[in-house]
A and B are shown apart, each in its own frame.
Chain A
Amino acid sequence: MKYVVMRDEETGEIVTLGRFHENALTERYSIKGFWIQDNTLESDLFDGLLEEISEREAKQIIATQFSREKQAA
């Protein structure tokens, strides 16, 4: 499994956290606190919009940015 982020090209802010599974499943992390299937990540990959990150970085993003947004919501 590989983790990816998509950033806002102007601000550098992470707008999507995603992951690619061996079985072709592609998911994005929802600020509701769980992973949801999202095949548009395949298109984002083709467009060069995704940056690979480690699992540790992904967990950090979930713990910081996404939990903060969830609280704000």
Chain B
Amino acid sequence: MNLAQQKIAEKSEQWARTLLTQAAKNEPEITEDLQNIASEVSAAMVGLEHKFKSEESLAKKLVAKVKADLPDLLITGFTEDEEIRKSINLRAGQNNDTLRYTFLFLNENYVFAFKQTLNSLAKRKYKVLEKRIWNAWKNIGNVFDNGYRGINITLISSQKQKFELQFHTKESFDLKTKTHKLYKQIKSNTIPLQRKNEIKEKLVKTAKEIQIPKGIKRL
């Protein structure tokens, strides 16, 4: 590991700890609100035991993103330290999954319940980042399709805590759980392109069995 890589690793670990400390402080209120909303919209909240991303995963994610940014940053005339700091700050600020939650809806109720959830969140003063609503159901069959099925949104609480809320059906959640390791591989910058292509094709093929919620593409 060279000096720049060591600095990135150290700064990423520091940021991961900071993000997790902040999330731990804000989590109880958010979890309580989401449990109440889940009850209002007939959602099952799953994976609560995994609501915090691990410090190791968080640091790894930051490292990968900063490393990808760095070759460009280093030729813009700033010093390496400045550029590492700039990239880490940007990437840590974007991070939405230090704290993450999942709602499961019945397939036939999915679209209606999703809209209801957004209304309930707004009533409780949660800000939905409109540009960061990722409706993966809309990508079926296009070049962005990586077999993921669900909607991921990024929210900001009144304590300024950024967090992620995922919306799944039982089937799409099971699919996500089953294929988790393959997703990790396709996000890695060390995977050969051919292998990435094979995995993506496999993921898309597996996802074909998943029933698409009615009206989802019009959302």
Measured CB to CB, the residues of A under 8 A from B are: 1-2, 8-10, 15-16, 20-25, 28, 30-32, 36-40, 42-49, 51, 69, 72-73
Residues of B whose CB lies within 8 Å of any CB of A are 61, 64-65, 68-69, 71-72, 75-77, 90, 93-97, 129, 131-134, 142-144, 146, 148, 152-154, 164, 183, 186-189, 191, 193, 196-197, 200
Instruction: Indicate if the CB atoms of B193 and A31 lie closer than 8 Å.
Output: no
Q: Give how many A-B residue pairs fall within 8 Å (CB-CB).
A: 94
Q: B75 — which chain A residues lie within 8 A by C-beta?
A: 31-32, 73
CB <8 Å contact, A36 and B197: no
Cβ A73 vs Cβ B144 within 8 A:
no
A49 to B75, CA, bound (A): 24
Which residues of B have CB within 8 Å of A1?
A: 143
Closest to B153 in A: A48
Complex alpha-carbon distance, A63 and B132, angstroms? 27
**Docked complex Cα distance between A21 and B196 (Å):** 12
Given contacts A8-B90, A30-B71, contact A43 B61 (CB under 8 A): yes
**CB-defined contacts of A8 to chain B, threshold 8 Å:** 90
Within the assembled complex, what's the spacing in Å between the Cα atoms of A36 and B75? Answer: 15
Give complex CA distance A45, B142 in Å: 14
Query: How many Å lie between the Cα of A39 and that of B133 in the bound state?
Result: 21
Q: Tell me, rounded to whole Å, the shortest Cβ–Cβ distance linking A53 to chain B.
A: 13
Are B76 and A24 in contact, CB atoms less than 8 angstroms apart? no
Verify B154–A48 contact, CB threshold 8 A: yes
